[in-house]
Structure 1
């Protein structure tokens, strides 16, 4: 099978891991690089020795010249709609960086084009492929905990980014929480969110202009309650970037905080008559697998070969994005809101 041609759109810092991953994949040929700053695309072509790649600052022109099978969109969120729609209408599949879009309205327009063209549009939620996350997902699906009723995630980091994040509204919810919301849905087998009550705030001593911390309670399918607490302005005790998780079911619970232990652990109740039952600890077995961009790319290419929708396809990922904008809407209304995805 001939290698699939890909055009990478967006040649900023995030393009580095993508280009490295694409070059390492034998099923792919990096045939084009696009950036609104043409010199940025030229620099990446030189850096990664892509002398045969078409370089330009106009996405449509490069797509017409290269005629790739797919596009990797590494642009800023505000550009996702235009890039994705242009690629889909050009007959390309699309693998795009999160978030799907910068608004629900834009996201729905993108999904409509994906449906009309019949092309695959997958959102790269790369934390899904972490072995610990896959182990938790499997344990829950296999019934280790029985029926799950509660899932909690705490995320506390003192992140001194500076730049645009220090000035943007809702930096935590818009730029980071999408990862944790998507992880929750992944762990529980792609449940859909139903409602949310969220309060966002800016802690004392914050170096951010707007609300960089939030507490939210979600109702999701299967009568599950998801509680999220997060802050990018939390010094001292901190979590890993993947948060601290506590998942509770009828038979016991699972804990995972990657910063403390890479292996998630289940603790299952031992039947008895005691006031507080004894329990036994069971580390979850981890299977080797590709994480990060490689995990997304592998599943995307497999889906193209099989002509089927991959995990984290745009139609499903809309539910993760809806959790973000639902939380913001709840904060602004100071009320519980229904989530529509």
Structure 2
């Protein structure tokens, strides 16, 4: 089999720092088309990767050579472009949040199932070594029953790394729809569903715009979540942290797990016998370290395309994680606990 021919739709920061360099690093792929509504941006990427430049994704999707696409556009376009790509017979890797409504997410999954093509959502947190290890420790029963957790994902905001800075679509309600919760909160909802191996059944949340001026998207949120077996915990997502926080703490019967909570040790295990284990497993990606190490999202997607396998984060998984975030938004609006 020849190399998988790829098209990247949207040439902003996430494409520049993750999708382009990671596709380029994989021998099995070749970037043959790029698309951005800003002509200069498309041209620059096209020159850099020796690809064809488009300003209209519909035109790109007509290119029959393209087998797979990455959708790296503002949130409100995810569903529309993904569905069009699947209908055009392409495999799709869509950035998160997969959509801005459950209805759109369901339509994306229907299109995937109808086309027989792969739909994967770009939740990179599942691939972080400390997160994988925590899942193993929980699944094996080694640390006993899990009682609670706390998880956070926050940084100083997209203006510091998005290609358009403070003018970025992230701050425009009609394009982002959801702010820090769609950017960061959905990652942690997905991670916890994965690590705990359970679905969340209830959410209560406060979602605010406190740190950023002249925007009506959320920039800070705190949620309380409960799983089907009664594990309870907190999830915070924010664009107001002076220093990035990407830590998760799991409180279980026989141990406390600290994930990405220490600059040196990506996993710290406090055992109930008083002993502490410190493990270095390679750090989590931050916005400062983008491009320095593989997020594994692209390599996993390509492997699934080549071997025709179901991805770890399928559209079905993406929808379940989105449901948690949309429930949190609903809880804030109604000032009630929402059953998911």
What CA distance in whole angstroms lies between the structure 1 residues aligned with 2:335 and 2:232?
A: 19
CA contact (8 A) 1:153 1:245 kept: yes
Equivalent position of 1:303 in the other structure: 304
Equivalent position of 1:326 in the other structure: 327
Which structure has the larger Rg over C-alpha atoms? 1
Q: What is the aligned length?
A: 322
**Match runs of 1:191-270 below 5 Å:** 191-203=198-210, 207=213, 209-210=215-216, 211-235=218-242, 238-240=243-245, 242=246, 244-258=247-261, 260-270=263-273
CA contact (8 A) 1:123 1:312 kept: yes
Equivalent position of 1:76 in the other structure: 74
SS of 1:223's equivalent in the other structure is: coil
What are the Cα deviations for residues 50-107 of structure 1, in whole angstroms up to 9, with x where unaligned?
0xx3322232322323432111111111111121111111111101111101222211
- Flag the 1:297–1:166 CA change in 2: closer, same or farther, 3 A: closer
**Match runs of 1:172-183 below 5 Å:** 172-183=180-191
What CA distance in whole angstroms lies between the structure 2 residues aligned with 1:132 and 1:36?
A: 38
Equivalent position of 1:100 in the other structure: 98
CA contact (8 A) 2:184 2:238 kept: no
Equivalent position of 1:151 in the other structure: 149
Equivalent position of 1:7 in the other structure: 7
What CA distance in whole angstroms lies between the structure 1 residues aligned with 2:182 and 2:236?
A: 14
What CA distance in whole angstroms lies between the structure 2 residues aligned with 1:182 and 1:65?
A: 33
- Flag the 1:231–1:91 CA change in 2: closer, same or farther, 3 A: closer
- Flag the 1:293–1:325 CA change in 2: closer, same or farther, 3 A: farther
Which blocks of at least 5 consecutive residues in structure 1 are unaligned? Answer: 271-278
What CA distance in whole angstroms lies between the structure 2 residues aligned with 1:54 and 1:63?
A: 12
Shift of 1:287: 7.6
- Flag the 1:120–1:144 CA change in 2: closer, same or farther, 3 A: same
Q: Give me the TM-score of the superposition, normalised by structure 1.
A: 0.85
Q: CA RMSD in A?
A: 2.6
- Flag the 1:231–1:304 CA change in 2: closer, same or farther, 3 A: closer
Which blocks of at least 5 consecutive residues in structure 2 are unaligned? Answer: 160-165, 286-291
CA contact (8 A) 1:195 1:337 kept: yes
